[in-house]
Chains A and B, each alone.
Chain A
Amino acid sequence: MQAVIQATLDFLKACWQPLLCGLVIVAVLPLIAGYIVLVERKLMADMQARLGPMRVGPHGLLQPIADAVKLLIKEDIIPQDADKLVFWLAPVLSVGAALLSLAGLAIGPAFQVAKGINIGILFVVGVSAMGIYGIVLGGWASNSHYSLMGALRSSAQLVSYETAAGLALVTGLLFAGTLNITSIVEAQYDQGIWFGLLAPVAFFTYLVASIAETNRAPFDLPEAESELVAGYMTEYSGFRWALYFLGEYTNMIVVASVATTLFLGGWLRPFPRTHWLDFLDFLPALFMIVVGAYCVVRVPKQPAKVQSLFMLAVAGLCFAVALVLLAPVVLPMFQRSLAPVVKPFYDGILGSFWFLLKVSAYIYFFMWLRFTIPRYRFDQLMRLGWHFLIPLSIINVLVIGIAMIVGSYLHLAGGWLLLTTIPASVIALIVALFILSIEQKSAPPEQGRAASDSYAG
């Protein structure tokens, strides 16, 4: 008994930091996912020249909480011949896979649950791939035609684009040389350039593949309302549906984080090694000050006093965050001796801000695409995945590898590698488009039959 207690205390002492990070993620993430839904609705409204949710709370800010309460108190309906165990299990799998893959990600150099894990990025990709079971088993357990077809289509789509996404990641990993997430970001620091700039075609492939991976528009046929009712989510209502939704938005955060870590420099600021650009360190604080100032400027224009008070509170919060962001940059300027003390906070706080900014930009791009581009038909979707993206990513790995070898012969390093990788990427794109055009020439005779006998389940 004594040994058990001692072992538990040793375990807690050794990894209290990752456990704390994990606790923070599990506690905060459902709230954040809910607010991402609100952001999406507000953005959708803005792009459609309307206002979005405005009723619940100031400017609709309590809408996610109202939605959560509504979903929690709804009646739990299970279809009549549904398999109860699997029906219960499916949303749990979906959310569990998404949350578990968050454990491998690092928001700053110090915030990582699976700290220093050797297989970093592969862990995130592999565990998030387990979300497929949530979809397939959910569709099957619902005992309904729409659900099963939606589930099979959705999982076929996910599996197809997983290959392209993985190969695009491999291209980025060619530059990094390691799977460990902290080492990947440090490699981008050492080479002084983001890997997304060195391998733009890989970044583009991962962008498109991740949109398909998360079932977002324009690849959201499996959950489009006009097509299959709601696909695999048709028979789910109340909190089970909320879990699926939570899983989907968490998945979005996961793919955005993976792309940010590997292609967009992780928690580094733009141009991390050029010291004459050090004034960019003030950018996060400046950003928050501008947002706070905007809130202050809008205070007189609010119709009700409660809304003015709310705007003032938001402005105060922004200024407080700006102060926190300024401290690690400004303090070493006044007292040289504080620099080594402040450095971890510098990396942690400012780094987290840059990371979250990049993830937000990536998710903003997802949402922008959703409201702009019409949906792909399912066979067009599969054709894009198999006939274009997979050849493109395979050829890209090949030519970027050759470009790196040529670059090392010419003693190019860091940003100078662009001289070899950009022509290589252009060659890859041309060859893949050529393959696609050959495919198109031989496809027409079969188009009459193709849409009917494939994917009919």
Chain B
Amino acid sequence: MLSIEHYLFLGLALFIIGVIGVVTRRNVIVVLMSIELILNAVNINLVAFSRLYGDVAGQVFALFIIADAAAEAAVGLGIIIAFFRNRETVLADEMDLLKW
């Protein structure tokens, strides 16, 4: 019998993998992809609780998160393209324009 902890642990695993990706990788595009993993982990949690309590609000909120992720990915990738055109790099270490 599947209990709520199964889904919570799955969400936790995806969340931690996403966090490791964000904090560890140099390539900014991979960082954005890890952020998508984090958002998906949150969605799994929301939908699992929505099923537990029979309230569809969890799924509606997950839908909003998906729409929000689309907007954020579009803007983030636009920024990356604009930066790439200027500096020819997508590595986070080399994006140090404001440093001395």
A and B touch in the complex (CB under 8 A): no
